[in-house]
Amino acid sequence: MTDQPPFVDIRPDHDPAMTAFDLPDLPYGWKYSPVERCTLPKSISYGVVQPGESIVNGVPIIRVNNFRDTQIDLTDVMKISSEIESKYSRTRLIGGEVLLTLVGSVGQVAVVPTSLKGFNVARAIGVIRPIQHIGAEWIALCLRSTLSQYLLTSRANTTVQTTINLKDVRALPIPIPPEIERRGIIGIISALDDRIALLRETNATLEAMAQAIFKSWFVDFDPVHAKQQGRSPEGMDEATSALFPDSFEESELGLIPKEWEICRFTDTVDVIGGGTPKTSVTGYWNGSIPWFSVTDAPVASDIFVIDTEKHISESGIKNSSTKLLPMGTTIISARGTVGKLALVGRDMAMNQSCYGLRGRNNDNYFTYLTTCHIVEILKQRAHGSVFDTITRDTLTGVSVTYPIESIIIAFENLVLPFMERIRENVNQSKTLAAIRDTLLPKLMSGTIRLEDISP
C-alpha cells in the first residue's frame, strides 16, 4: 500500500467537508488538513467487536484501560483466540500506528511501539495509520491538542456511553505547519515525554528492588535460611541480621520463622472506608482536597497518587462518610475494577468503592507490599451479584505471615529511600506533564513559535 500524495493547502472556506468546523486562524504557511488525508487509504478503523472470553495463550488486544498518559500500560492485557482475532486483521498492529480511544474515556492517544507488533485492539479503540510524510508523532500530538479534543468530544454521542464516530475522526481538521517547524514541535514535546518515561522506568526499577527485598525477607525467608545454615544473610548488617531467628516452626501455612505468627490480614491493618459528599451541594466540591476513585489509580510504575481528577472541600469531608487519608496509606479498589493499588502521596480522601489500609505498626511500605503480595488472592475471592466486590470479610479471610515489630521497622527504614525517590519522581513527572500540556496547545496553534522558546 502506498502513501497518498502530499496534502494540499486547504482552509475551511476552500474545503466543503470542513465548513462545519469553527477553526482558529493559523500562522502564515500553515495549513489545515482532515485526518483522513494524512493517513493511508481506508486505514482508519476500530478493532475487535466481540472478543469472547480471555484465554491464556491468545492474541493480546489493547483496551481503553491500557491507556496511561500517552503510553500503553501492559499490566492488564486481555488475550483472545486467534480465530476471532484473524477476522480483524485490518487493525492488527505492526508498530507506528496512532491509537485513539473511541468509547468511554474518549480521546486518549498513544503511538504504538514496534514491541507491540502482532497485538490487536478492542472495538473501543480506533487505529490510524499515518502516511510517512506526516508521521504518527504529529497526528498523535494533534489529537492530544485542546482543539482536537474539543472538536471530538463536542461531536461525541453521549446517549448511553460517550462514543466518538470514525467519520468525525476522519474529518477532523489538524494543523500542518511546514516540516521544519513540525519537527521542532515534535522534538520539544517528545523530549518532555521521554523524560517522563525515563522517570517511570526508574520508578519501576526502584519498586522492583523493594519488591525483591520484601520477597526475600517475608516470602522466601532467606535471612532465616542463611542463619539456620550457619551463614550470614547476604546484603544485611549485623544489627539487622540479629533480628531474624535461625529456625522455623510449623504453622497452618507451613513452616514460618520462629516467633513469627499467622494473622488475618485485617489483624495487621486498620481498614478505612470512603464516601461521596452530596453532589447536589456545590460547597462540598472543587475544594483543595484530592478525592480518589479507581480512575485515579496510577500507572504501575508510579505507585503513588499525587493528585486526582476531582477535589472536595473540608465541609465535604465533615458532611460525608469519607475520611482524610494521611500520606503513606495504601488504597485498594474494592468494587467493579477490583484490586487496583495506590500509595497516598499527599493527604486525600476517597470514594466508597475503595478501602484505605494503615499498618498497625505505623508502617507504610510493609503494608503496601503485603497488599501487593496478596492482591491476586483478594481478586479471586471478590464476588457480587452485579459487580465484583472485595468486602471487609474478603480482607479478613486472607491470612498472612507476620514478623515481629522490629523487623517491620528495619524493613521500613531500608526501603524508605527507594519509595521516597519514587514519590519525588512522580512529583517531577507531574510538573513536566503540566509544562507539556501548557505548551502543546500553544505550539499546535502557532501562538508560541519555536523561535520564542529557543535558547
Q: Would you say residue 455 has pLDDT above 80? A: no
Q: Please state, in angstroms and as integers, the Cα–Cα distance from residue 120 to each residue in 50, 57, 404, following that order.
A: 13, 14, 49
Q: Which CATH number does the domain housing residue 59 bear?
A: 3.90.220.20
Contact criterion met (CB below 8 Å) for 104 and 160: no
In a domain, 432, yes or no: no
Specify which residues 46 forms β-bridges with.
Answer: 126
Q: What pLDDT does 448 receive?
A: 84
Find out whether 381 and 353 touch, Cβ atoms under 8 Å. Answer: no
Residue 353 belongs to a domain: yes
More confident position, 127 or 252: 127
pLDDT, residue 9, reads 40
| 92 part of a folded domain | yes
What is the band of 7 on the pLDDT scale with cuts at 50, 70, 90?
A: very low
Beta bridge partners of 343: 304, 330
In a domain, 297, yes or no: yes
In contact, 155 and 171? CB cutoff 8 Å? no
pLDDT of the residue at 454: 59
Residue 192 lies in a domain: no
Same domain, 41 and 158: yes
Residue 232 pLDDT exceeds 70: yes
Are 21 and 127 contained in the same domain?
Answer: yes
Q: Is the pLDDT of residue 17 over 60?
A: no
Among 364, 381, 404, identify where a domain stops: 404
* 205: three-class secondary structure by DSSP: helix
Q: Which amino acid is at 231?
A: R
Final residue belonging to a domain, choices 176, 197, 223 = 176
Residue percentage of the chain with pLDDT more than 70: 94
Is 364 a residue whose pLDDT tops 80? Answer: yes
- Using the Cα atoms of residue 360, residue 298, residue 399 and residue 324 in order, give the sign of their dihedral: positive
Task: State the average pLDDT for the chain.
Answer: 91
Among the listed residues 59, 145, 153, 146, the one whose alpha carbon sits nearest the alpha carbon of residue 106 = 153
Q: To the nearest whole percent, how much of the chain has pLDDT over 90?
A: 77
Of residues 370 and 453, which shows the higher confidence score?
370
28 & 143 share domain: yes
- Among 269, 257, 265, 273, which residue's Cα sits nearest to residue 373? 265
- Of the residues 132, 155, 176, the one at which a domain ends: 176
Q: Report whether 395 contacts 310 (CB < 8 A).
A: no
The answer to whether residue 273 scores a pLDDT higher than 90 is yes
Residue 109, pLDDT above cutoff 90: yes
Residues 20 and 129 in one domain: yes
Is 359:367 a contact under the CB 8 Å cutoff? yes
Q: Are residues 27 and 130 in the same domain?
A: yes
- Asked whether residue 160 is domain-assigned, the answer is yes
Domain encompassing residue 362: 266-404
Q: CB within 8 A of 285, min separation 6: which ones?
A: 277, 279, 310, 311, 312, 313, 316
Q: How confident is the model at residue 393 (pLDDT cuts 50, 70, 90)?
A: very high
Residue 159 and residue 59 in one domain: yes
pLDDT band at 253 (very low <50, low <70, confident <90, very high): confident
Report, as an integer, the average pLDDT of 424-448. Answer: 92
Per-residue pLDDT band at 21 (split at 50, 70, 90): low
pLDDT score of 333 more than 90: yes
Cα–Cα distance measured from residue 35 to residue 128, given in angstroms and rounded to the nearest whole number: 9
* Structure confidence at residue 220 (pLDDT): 97
Note the pLDDT of residue 325. 97
Task: Please say whether the beta carbons of 174 and 148 come within 8 A.
Answer: yes
Instruction: Report yes or no on 213 lying in a domain.
Output: no
Query: Are 23 and 156 in the same domain?
Result: yes
Are residues 276 and 168 part of one domain? no
pLDDT of residue 299: 81
User: How many domains, the chain?
Assistant: 2
Is 31 in the same domain as 131? yes
Rounded average pLDDT over 32-48: 94
Taking residues 292-317, report their average pLDDT: 92
Instruction: Please return the burial class of 379, using the count of CB atoms within 10 Å of its CB with bins 0-12, 13-18 and 19+.
Output: middle
In a domain, 426, yes or no: no
| Res 180: pLDDT | 92
